[in-house]
Chains A and B, each alone.
Chain A
């Protein structure tokens, strides 16, 4: 059974802190790993990673994939209250339908 596990399940930090969110996976046919941010409504796309060791960056957010150890991390530096959200990790499966398997998410709360 394909499985994606995120840790921690929840996290409370203060503005300005740096956080690291973890995502490990066990899937049969790996295609890609995606990170989404979910505030009140729709999950919004952050990053797609397909190759090991190549960091993707967008402002204060960055992510990297390790396909040998089967995990990814999402880093957020200089956190702001607007970073408070659920962060979802999903793994794309290389099979008919281009399906995603989601982790349970990490709830991040940034206090001012």
Chain B
């Protein structure tokens, strides 16, 4: 039972490089989320999606892009990596059959630790 799978687990990038963090879920969840976690700061929402073809900005979207072409996949792209993007990135998913209310928790992947030097 895979749940939410994130790849890669670790990556080191140089300033200005680009990369895509992959996220896939096999639970048929319609909602998916990307967070970043910095020490002492909790999780901050970067982008989210309520279904295939629909994406929206979260609290800290600058420097990132996402797409949601299928229900299962929700990749996060960094176009021009900057040292401020050094963080641990978590993907999460949940199911809701109502637009404004969910009684289902979000389920998280194991994270991608990204360092930009």
Which residues of A are interface residues toward B (Cβ below 8 A)? 4, 9, 31-32, 34, 36, 41-45, 48, 50, 88, 90, 92, 94-100, 102-105
Identify the closest chain B residue to A90 (Cβ).
B43
A8 to B39, CA, bound (A): 15
Counted as pairs of residues, one from A and one from B, with CB atoms less than 8 Å apart, the total is 63
Q: What B residues does A9 contact at CB under 8 A?
A: 40
Most buried by B among A43, A48, A95: A43
Let me know if B40 and A104 touch, CB within 8 A: yes
Q: What A residues does B94 contact at CB under 8 A?
A: 98
Which residues of B are interface residues toward A (Cβ below 8 A)? 4, 31, 33, 35, 40-45, 48, 50, 56, 58, 90, 94, 96, 99-103, 105-111
Q: What A residues does B102 contact at CB under 8 A?
A: 31, 92, 98
Q: What B residues does A94 contact at CB under 8 A?
A: 100-101
Let me know if B110 and A42 touch, CB within 8 A: yes
Identify the closest chain A residue to B110 (Cβ).
A41
Most buried by A among B43, B90, B103: B43
- With A42-B108, A95-B100, A102-B44 known, 9 other A-B pairs at CB within 8 A are A31-B101, A41-B111, A45-B107, A50-B103, A97-B31, A98-B96, A100-B43, A104-B40, A105-B42
Q: What B residues does A50 contact at CB under 8 A?
A: 103
Let me know if B100 and A96 touch, CB within 8 A: yes
A44 to B108, CA, bound (A): 7
The 6 A-B residue pairs with the shortest CB-CB distance in the complex, in nearest-first order: A102-B42, A41-B110, A42-B108, A98-B102, A102-B43, A45-B105
Q: What A residues does B106 contact at CB under 8 A?
A: 34, 45, 100
